[in-house]
Amino acid sequence: MGAATAAACLLLVVGGLFGGLLFPSRTDGPGAGPPPSPPASTSAAPVVAGERITASDPRSAVKGYVVLRRKAWGTEVELHLAGVPKGSHCRLLVIARDGRRDALGSWYVPYDEGYGEYRGSTMFPRGQLFSFEVVGLDGRPLLTIPT
């Protein structure tokens, strides 16, 4: 090993030790400043607020809400449900003001707590929405959310 290589290695070791004393990585000791700010979000899609509409059905004990976001192609829908029995098969429908219907999706309830979140979309613009219906596969209504 040459003298220049040895000097460079020694400089790295001393620099690392000296730098650790000048710039300690611990922030929980006495006189420590505030913790560093978290890095800025790198999410590609910004969080967009939407219109929230809540409903409950005392007969079925199901309650929930939808969050609606207007889009150029229709409406984005986020459904949050609680109280649906485990093992249920459900379907989400939207009814337009003129009576047309659109199926937003269906799912099986695998959880014990009876809570879930489902996302879908409809071709209907927000102004044409009349209600959302969560129904069993047998068509039995579990929850209606009027808009």
Nearest 5°: CA angle at 51, between 57 and 120? 75
pLDDT of residue 32: 45
pLDDT of residue 137: 87
For the chain, report the end-to-end CA distance as a whole number of angstroms.
Answer: 78
For residues 88 and 53, what is the distance between their CA atoms, to the nearest angstrom? 23
**Residues in CB range of 62: below 8 A, 6 or more apart:** 56, 81, 82, 83, 84, 134, 142, 143
pLDDT of residue 73: 96
* pLDDT tens-digit series, residues 18-70: 344 333 444 444 444 444 444 443 334 445 689 999 999 999 899 999 999 99
Mean pLDDT of all residues in 128-134:
97
pLDDT of residue 124: 97
Please choose, from the candidates 71, 69, 133, the residue with its C-alpha nearest in 3D space to the C-alpha of residue 96.
133
Structure token pair of residue 111: 């959880």
pLDDT at 101 over 70: yes
